[in-house]
Amino acid sequence: MEMLERVKKRIPDAMLKDEVLEEYISTISDRLCLRLGVGALPNLFESICVDAVVKMYRRAYYEGISSEGAANISTTFVDDVLSEYAQEIGDWKTQQANVGGSGKVVRFL
């Protein structure tokens, strides 16, 4: 199933156009690829991408709040929507290093 369709299922009431949701997907996918050290998002990380896109979308509606005060109205948002997945990213990178699947190839012509 395409990631856009998965995101729409998670936030069915979204008033955003597909182009905006696709931009969110591209942004999260790019950030995941950078952290993973790969050129294309591995299928295993599509669920994390969808999850993070939903968080990114909801952040605009105050669902990304990590703390909030009442008297002086102080609100703090989570800075990095991917920080929650640091363990999975680290485990995957370790596994790839152990099996030699870093995706880096040297070719001699």
Q: What's the whole-model pTM score? A: 0.72
Q: Are 39 and 103 spatial neighbours (Cβ–Cβ below 8 Å)?
A: yes
Report the phi/psi class of residue 105: left, alpha or beta, with left for phi > 0 and alpha for psi in -120 to 50: beta
Count the neighbouring beta carbons within 10 Å of the beta carbon of residue 8: 15
Per-residue pLDDT at 52: 92
Summarised one tens digit per residue, pLDDT across range 16-73 is 888 989 999 999 999 999 999 999 999 999 999 999 999 888 776 555 555 555 555 5
Break the chain into its structural domains and give their ranges: 3-99
